[in-house]
A and B are shown apart, each in its own frame.
Chain A
């Protein structure tokens, strides 16, 4: 299936995804979009793990297990984060980062 695609392509994809996530986290002003950027980062890590496992160490499955655990934890993280963001919306009537600025310096 992935026979014709070399490992480097997966690594380039995951690196681009990782830095897109970082860029999105730093530039977006909407809390939900920032959360989505974090998911991009976590998924780039997943691609890394699976690609390394498949190409370099096909005899063990540690990379796959790590990916499964990351997916589960990311879901838990998103659940808590979205609950808190809903609470932010109730308090501030907005989920723009610029509005959530009661505390500074």
Chain B
């Protein structure tokens, strides 16, 4: 093994270095200069994102523990784009005086959790997978409790850490049973010895329960709305987009790589979970008045749609899941960007406060409309094609009833997404949110997500590109 082999884990190395550089620079800054860390961290991350797109050959390191392939690199790049938009959007919240002392912690923790997600995606055995999963989830609890003097933020932190620790415990119990029955923790070895013996099915169910907590599938979704509401808005968007996206990628990869021989079993489990997740997520979203809780339940419902593509279990399903998550990143970040901009300017979060927003802030209202249309899946924008490919792949596997239920649910979701649009454009309001200007980085983040929604909607090349990469897995 020579030194150039380490270039395979380029993403991880560069990101760890960036995180350490930010940490060290922060040590040398006086309290009054702390805000200079923001441009440094964002610039370094932009460079990292660009480096990530350089072609990479892929390979295996550490005796099979670490895998890399063009497909996995592409998944990491998808996450990078999302994190970049979040970093830009969080500028106006970070420079508030209450965050003055701990600005760099936000970046460092975020970069380390992202490294955890990289390792989780690249894992070649369950040890690396578990380490990545914990690196990705423990520090997020610290991010959720970031505003430590606010009771809601503290509550969100404790709810997140306890439920995520419990879910990893359940997941680990499943892994220990898999180790006991197969004698290995390497994915490639386990795949040969998985049969439908009761103990291994039991282990599979424990594994799925553990992952369902992370992706917030019903009936494991109870933490989601509370944590999303209590955490700072930009952390919420990180949780709902990046953390959920990475967990879905890994869930899909492990089901395909390790549990492929018992596909009939997990397809039945996911079938039930998917229907329950879509219906309950939608029904609860209908009655929410707080924008963050509303987006939390809408993201639960979207996770139900992601399962549709995972249970297809083919190349087509995999492409459609990755494409859907890409569209979901842009549309959800557009919505969260507007919510966070409005929260920073006026402190308002309730849906009634959005009444008459179009009169005072037309651009933000238009972007919000675009994002919720994309989330609901209205034709010209990205979200429609994401859902369209998911439904096609599910139909190609013969899951017609499931597709029918999913389409019904997409229609229900249209109702509550349109409630937001109605509030902004039609409802009258005596005291609307006053007109304000967002600052430059936040505007760049909002424009990026709007561009993403449009480009993915009108430029089919992206789908082809992802489709070409997914060959390698089978």
Residues of chain A touching chain B, judged by Cβ–Cβ distance below 8 Å, are 18, 21, 25, 31, 34-35, 38, 41-42, 44-45, 48-49, 52-53, 56-57, 60, 62-63, 65-66, 69-70, 73, 76-77, 80-81, 83-85, 87-88, 90-92, 100, 102-105
| Pair B226/A103 contact, Cβ less than 8 Å | yes
Cβ of A62 and Cβ of B179 under 8 Å apart?
yes
The interface residues of chain A lying within 8 Å CB-to-CB of B71 are: none
- Tell whether, in the assembled complex, residue B154 and residue A84 are in contact, meaning their CB atoms are under 8 Å apart: yes
Residues of chain B contacted by A100 (CB below 8 angstroms): 155, 158
Our pick among B142, B173, B185 for the contact of A66 (Cβ within 8 Å) is: B185
Which of B151, B172, B225 makes the CB contact (< 8 A) with A91? B151
If the complex has contacts A31-B162, A48-B176, A77-B165, are A88 and B154 also in contact, measured as CB distance less than 8 A? yes
- Is A80 in contact with B176, judged by CB distance below 8 angstroms? no
Interface size on B, residues (CB 8 A): 40
From the candidates A42, A60, A87, name the one contacting B169 in the complex (CB within 8 A).
A42
Interface string of B225-244 (1 = CB under 8 A from A): 11001100000000000000
Chain A CB within 8 A of B466 CB = no
Give min CB distance, B289 to chain A, whole Å: 11
Query: Is the CB–CB distance between A45 and B169 below 8 Å?
Result: yes
B127 within 8 A of A: yes
B261 located at the interface, meaning its Cβ lies under 8 Å from any Cβ of chain A in the complex: no
Pair B158/A91 contact, Cβ less than 8 Å: no
Contacts A21-B169, A41-B170 given; indicate if A102 touches B161 (C-beta within 8 A): no
Q: In whole angstroms, how far apart are the Cα atoms of A76 and B168 in the complex?
A: 13
13 A–B contact pairs at CB < 8 A? A25-B162, A38-B166, A45-B173, A45-B175, A53-B179, A62-B184, A66-B176, A69-B127, A77-B134, A80-B161, A81-B165, A91-B150, A103-B225
A47 to B151, CA, bound (A): 38
Q: How far is the CA of A57 from the CA of B189 in the complex (A)?
A: 14
Given A81-B162, A84-B161, A73:B131 Cβ within 8 A: yes
A76: B residues at CB distance < 8 A:
134, 138
Within 8 Å CB of B173, what residues of A? 18, 41, 44-45, 48
B91 → chain A closest CB, angstroms: 26
**Chain A residues, Cβ within 8 Å of B225:** 103, 105
B455 proximal to A (CB < 8 A): no
B132-173 vs A, CB cutoff 8 Å, 1 = contact: the mask equals 001000110110010011111011111001100110011011
Tell me whether B130 and A69 are in contact (CB under 8 A).
yes
B103-121: which residues lie under 8 A (CB-CB) from chain A?
none
Give the one of A60, A102, A103 with max B CB within 10 A.
A103
Whether B183 is near chain A, meaning CB under 8 Å from some CB there, is: yes
Give CA–CA (A78, B233) in the complex, Å. 26
B423 CB-CB contact with A under 8 Å:
no
- With most chain A CB atoms within 10 A of its CB, the pick from B156, B176, B185 is B176
A-B contact count (CB 8 A): 121
Main secondary structure, interface of B, reads: helix
Q: Which of B149, B154, B165: most chain A Cβ within 10 A?
A: B165
Given contacts A70-B172, A73-B131, A73-B134, contact A81 B141 (CB under 8 A): yes
Q: What's the nearest-Cβ distance from chain A to residue B290, in Å?
A: 9
Inter-chain contacts of A80 with B (CB < 8 A) = 138-139, 141-142, 161
Q: Is B180 an interface residue (CB 8 A)?
A: yes
Scoring A56, A80, A90 by chain B CB atoms within 10 A of each residue's CB, the highest score goes to A80
Given A38-B165, A44-B173, A76-B138: A84 touches B157 (CB 8 Å cut-off): yes
With both chains docked as a complex, state the minimum distance between the C-beta of A4 and any C-beta of chain B, in angstroms.
Answer: 21
Evaluate contact between A49 and B141: CB separation under 8 angstroms.
Answer: no
For B273, the chain A residues whose CB sits under 8 A away are: none
B138–A85 CB distance below 8 A = no
A25 to B141, CA, bound (A): 18
Q: A52 to B126, alpha carbons, bound, how many Å?
A: 16
Q: Does B177 contact A (CB under 8 A)?
A: yes
Complex formed: what's the CA distance from A86 to B152 in Å?
A: 14
**Assembled-state Cα–Cα distance A42/B169 (Å):** 6
Option from B130, B134, B145, B185 in Cβ contact (under 8 Å) with A87: B145
Contact among A42, A62, A87, A90 for B172, CB-based, below 8 A: A42
User: How distant is B324 from chain A, measured CB to nearest CB, in Å?
Assistant: 29
In whole Å, how far is A13's beta carbon from the nearest beta carbon of chain B?
A: 13
Contact B183–A57 (Cβ < 8 Å): yes
Cβ contact of B179, chosen from A21, A44, A63, cutoff 8 A: A63
Across-interface contacts of B169 in A (CB, < 8 A): 21, 38, 41-42, 45
Q: Which residue on B lies nearest to A18, using beta carbons?
A: B173
Known A-B contacts A62-B179, A77-B161; the reply to A87 vs B141 at CB < 8 A is no
